[in-house]
A and B are shown apart, each in its own frame.
Chain A
Amino acid sequence: MYKYFLIFVFLAFTGQISSQEVQVIGIDELKEELSRKADSVYVVNFWATWCKPCTEEMPDLLRVEKEYKDKNLMLILISLDLPSMKDTRLPKFMSEYGINSRVLLLDDPDANKWIPMVDESWSGSIPATLIYAPKVDYRDFHEGIITYSELKETVYPLIRNKKQ
């Protein structure tokens, strides 16, 4: 009985860690995520649970998010998983990786329409990351894996500028 209680506590606990509901969005909501105006640094990452380089990169994104969370860094994870994975594979992945960030599932298969909205240079491979800071007029797009140090070196001066 005691064993079951422990399992229950464990489940409740892990459930709480990533109890965040994944929101399914379309092209209009995506537009909003790409053009926020607050005094923050936005890191918008396009990924999917089945994408191996994306999952390799994920711990680095989460690490930078953790380091700069108090300094108004916002990590937004745009998942390109199938909508049917919203309640299955996605939450499982999120609890495995300890993801508490904002996770949005983009449900629009006509990528030719929205890829250029993110960046004209994007061919469509994932992972891909857009970093923007509206108050300092900064915008940078990166196709392919971004490393911990690349991301930190990009974000650090933006956050410093902001504080001055």
Chain B
Amino acid sequence: MKSLLTFAFAIIISIPLMSQGYEVGDYATDFKLRNVDGKYISLTDYDDAKGFIVIFTTNHCPYAVAWEDRIIELDMMFKSKGYPVIAINPNSAEAYPADSYEKMIERADEKGFTFPYLHDEKQEIYKMYGATKTPHVFILNKDSDKFKVEYIGAIDNNYRDAEKADEHYVQDAVRSLLAGQKPDPDFTRAIGCGIK
């Protein structure tokens, strides 16, 4: 009996060590990160939200830039329906001067971001989520006071040309959630810039 308990305990302990970032079905951590307007933002600030489209993205990455307008579009499409976009820049300004907080402010202004663009200054949040590249999307659904991961992956299936994308993964996933269904697919891949 004792060994069984020890075994169970060992499993519980090893779970956080084993998992590198989230998988669909996991609960995501909240955060408190600085927005480009200087204010700090947390998921719990959004009382009316049903969930979130969390996107790790950057200034410098050509893939992130290619998808930028579609990120704005997603926010405009789904913010009013309860799924706002929260963009997070996970890069260090030392590795990429173009991704500094000051440059983020410039970029958000230039492009007219309609969503918060947060700075993962300590580079802790992206690691907890398991983001490996930019852009990397995590769709969260509010589950009482927790945030359940419902989708991980790409925005759509053509980074180069929005017109030619014929699978709109994030749009479809949010629509499924709005209809009370599970996203399918709930995991996709795309090329992105490694986070540094």
Contact = CB atoms under 8 A, between A and B. Distances in A.
A51 B64 CA distance: 12
Interface in A106-164: 109-113, 115-116, 122-127, 143-144
Given A50-B62, A109-B164, A112-B188, A123 B193 contact: no
Contacts of B196: 52-53
Interface string B149-164: 0000110011111001
Given A109-B160, A110-B157, A51 B189 contact: no
B159 A109 contact: yes
A31 to B, nearest CB: 17
Given A112-B188, A125-B133, A51 B157 contact: no
A111 B190 contact: yes
Interface residues of B, number: 24
- The B contact surface, by secondary structure, is loop
Interface string B126-160: 00000011001000000000000000011001111
A111 B189 contact: yes
Nearest to A53: B194
A82 B161 CA distance: 12
B96 A123 contact: no
Given A109-B160, A126-B192, 6 more contacts: A82-B160, A111-B157, A115-B190, A124-B190, A125-B193, A127-B194
